[in-house]
Amino acid sequence: MYDLKSVKLPRLSGVPLKLLRFLLENPHTRRLLAPGLLTSAGVTAYRQQIDSSAPLAEPDMQNSWSAARVAEPHPVNMATRAVVSPWASINDLHNAFRAGTMTPLAVAEAAIARRNHPDYQLLNAFIAADDTALLRDATAATARYAAGQPLGLLDGIPVSIKDEFSVANYRTGGGTSFLGATPATADATPVARLRAAGALIIGKGQMHEIGLGVVGTSRAHGPARNPYQTNHTAGGSSGGGASATASGLALIALGADGGGSIRIPAAFCGMVGLKATYGRISSHGSAGVVWSMSHPGPIAPYPTEIASAYVCMAGSDPADPATHNQPLPVAPNLGRRDLRGMTIGYMPAWFEHADTEIVSHCRSMLHYYRSAGAELREITVPGLEAARVAHTIIITSEMLNGLGSQLTQNGHRLTDETRLSLALSREFTATDIAHAQRTRASFTATLRQLFTTVDMIATPTAGLVAPIIDAATIHQGMSDLSSTFEIMRFAFAANLSGLPSISIPAGYTKAGLPVGFQLMARPWKEALLIEAAQVAEQWRVSIQPKIYLG
């Protein structure tokens, strides 16, 4: 029943990459080359399949989802570890503000001063800043604390905003040099909600250009680097936010996830990353290049920060129809210490289709959750290969459409890597897109049935740890779709279906690179995922990264 394949496509950079990109951008030569590449990517075989499901143009989070399971609790004999906390927490900073030993203004001034630090510049976590607005907001937050009237736990907390979201007086560049040619006049809805809660916007976080990748490639800004080993990527597409939170430059990062773009960089940098249910957090004010796959959500060192950011940003937004019919968000119970009554499903063949060190650490996480009271149940997830191809077809087709005339006018300002992927996606037909939407419907139905028997589904977050950054490919990128699909092997299912998913730190490889463990739940169950991450904190042992500027 396990049919998810490893894709075999050429790894190209330099002149060979430029040549293939040139040939694929030409419609005549593309028709000659594309069939072989599409066959290697699994698209040709996918086209032979028949799916009679009614197409879904976007995830359906409303119909036919079962109520939460009711299971009998049982005794718990937990295997816990001494908790190590190398990062400052939101509670630490909030308490310091209340005690007067630290002020939001001092936090803002320190953030500005750090920009001259060589390690700050090396990480490349931020691509833009607005010191005037930062100092204005920090001064206001400091006054509120002095008056004993803070707005809440987020008041004065430094946050990073992915370049995909509009922030007043910043360009919304989507990781490019040409999108958002003029500064935004208003904040995107999730940004506005964070700002209204008193959060301090430290700056715009670096991202993989247009979000089309998981390693942080950007011709305009270069890659964000991993604080654990700076010759490795922080990931993508929300790599800047993961780098910023892991290195202590921010306590929370707002990201967006169309194919693992929150969870993968969180895993690469040892952070927690939550992709909320489709429509749970408004996308109004984002760059809008992808609409049916992209899910906003936070990246942070601890579940406490994830919970605070999630509760702040979640909820209906009149400007985003996808958010209108959601149930009220539930605040996570951060006092939860076990998972009694919960059932975690996993498919062994899928779970183990990753680097051996990743599998070992994630298997240990499964065993820990069993010791914390969860029942483990082997499951079968059919149709994964079709779902992977369908995800690729939909997300790249939406990107082509979303870029529109900008691609014609400014496509030359993207890397050869991005241009090659977009050129190949031009071979996807209307029939392919309709087929992919039928697959979305049938795959969602499969998951809907599975969630009548389990509460969460577990996998690793990524099939590989953070790759090395090749200095020779920074400006034009590297086309390595085989590794990209390995990294994304566990991420696409939640994007295609719209289900919430979280990446939780699971340990470190012998080389010192972080490993992520992923849980997925039924719609609107973000609180359960955050609670599961909080339970894991009793077992987690964290290592401070080599670059920590907090």
Q: What's the confidence (pLDDT) of residue 443?
A: 97
Q: Is the pLDDT of residue 65 over 60?
A: yes
Given pLDDT bands bounded at 50, 70 and 90, which one contains residue 81? confident
The CA distance from 223 to 207, in Å, is 8
pLDDT for res 72: 60
Is residue 237 part of the annotated active site? The answer reads yes
DSSP 526: H
- Give alpha helix (H) positions in 124-235: 131-146, 189-196
Q: Give 462-486 pLDDT, tens digit per residue.
A: 999 999 999 989 989 999 999 999 9
Q: Which of 166, 218, 237, 442 is catalytic?
A: 237
Look at residue 434 and tell me if it is in a domain.
Answer: no
pLDDT band at residue 78 under the 50/70/90 scheme:
confident
Residue 316: per-residue pLDDT: 97
Specify the pLDDT at position 355: 97
Helices (H) and strands (E) in the chain, counts: 20, 11
Residue 66 domain-assigned (yes or no): no
Domain-embedded: residue 413: no
The CATH number of the domain holding residue 290 is 3.90.1300.10
pLDDT, residue 5, reads 86
pLDDT reported for residue 84: 66
Give kind and range of the element (H or E) at residue 344: strand 343-346
Q: Which residues of 271-280 are buried (b: 16+ CB within 10 A; e: fewer)?
A: bbbbbbbbbb
According to DSSP, residue 182 is labeled S
Q: Taking residues 231-235, report their average pLDDT.
A: 98
**pLDDT at res. 238:** 98
Question: So what's the pLDDT on residue 395?
Answer: 97
Average pLDDT on 416-445 reads 97
> What integer pLDDT is reported at residue 7 of this predicted model?
84
pLDDT tens column, 337-380: 999 999 999 999 999 999 999 999 999 999 999 999 999 999 99
Encode burial over 161-188: b for 16+ CB neighbours within 10 A, e otherwise.
bbbbbbbbebbbbbbbbbbbeeebeebb
pLDDT digit string (tens) for 100-109? Answer: 999 999 999 9
The per-residue pLDDT for 85 is 78
Decide the pairing of beta strands 501-508 and 514-521.
antiparallel
Mean pLDDT for the stretch of residues 17-44: 96
88/163: higher pLDDT: 163
Q: What CA–CA distances, in Å, run from 109 to 65, 191, 200, 368, 465?
A: 48, 21, 11, 42, 34
Q: Which residues contact 363 (CB under 8 A, 6 or more apart)?
A: 351
Catalytic residue among 160, 162, 204, 479: 162
**Average pLDDT, integer, range 207-231:** 97
Confirm whether 275 is a catalytic residue.
no
Residue 77: the pLDDT is 78
**Domain assignment of residue 390, yes or no:** no
pTM, whole model, 2 decimals? Answer: 0.97
Mind listing the pLDDT tens digit for each residue in 295-325? 999 999 999 999 999 999 999 999 999 999 9
126-128/158-162 β-pairing = unpaired
What span, in angstroms and rounded, lies between the C-alpha atoms of 241 and 99? 29
Domain assignment of residue 228, yes or no: yes
Give the mean model confidence (pLDDT) for residues 504-522: 98
Tokens of 39: 């066959």
pLDDT of residue 20: 97
Q: Which of 218, 238, 247, 261 is catalytic?
A: 261
The per-residue pLDDT of the chain, averaged, comes to: 95
If one counts every other C-beta atom within 10 angstroms of the C-beta of residue 135, the result is 17
Asked if residue 323 belongs to a domain, the reply is yes
Compute how many other C-beta atoms are within 10 angstroms of the C-beta atom of residue 250: 32
**Per-residue model confidence (pLDDT) at position 79:** 75
In the prediction, which pLDDT does 63 show? 67
The pLDDT of residue 288: 76
**How many Cα atoms within 13 Å fall on the side-chain side of residue 152?**
13
Per-residue pLDDT, averaged over 204-224, amounts to 96
Q: Give dist(CA 387, CA 485) in Å, integer.
A: 13
Q: How many domains does the chain have?
A: 1
Asked if residue 220 belongs to a domain, the reply is: yes
Q: What is the model's pLDDT at position 441?
A: 96
* pLDDT computed for residue 427 by the predictor: 97
Does some domain include residue 172? yes
Higher pLDDT, 395 or 82: 395
Q: Using pLDDT thresholds of 50, 70 and 90, give the confidence band for residue 80.
A: confident
Q: Which domain holds residue 518?
A: 90-384+442-467+477-536
What percentage of the chain carries pLDDT values higher than 90?
92
pLDDT at 68: 55
**Do 379 and 2 touch, CB atoms closer than 8 A?**
no
Please tell me the least confidently modeled range out of 38-52, 82-96, 331-345.
82-96
Q: Is the pLDDT of residue 390 over 60?
A: yes
Confirm whether 162 is a catalytic residue. Answer: yes
Q: Answer whether residue 71 shows pLDDT above 90.
A: no
Identify the H or E element spanning 520.
strand 514-521
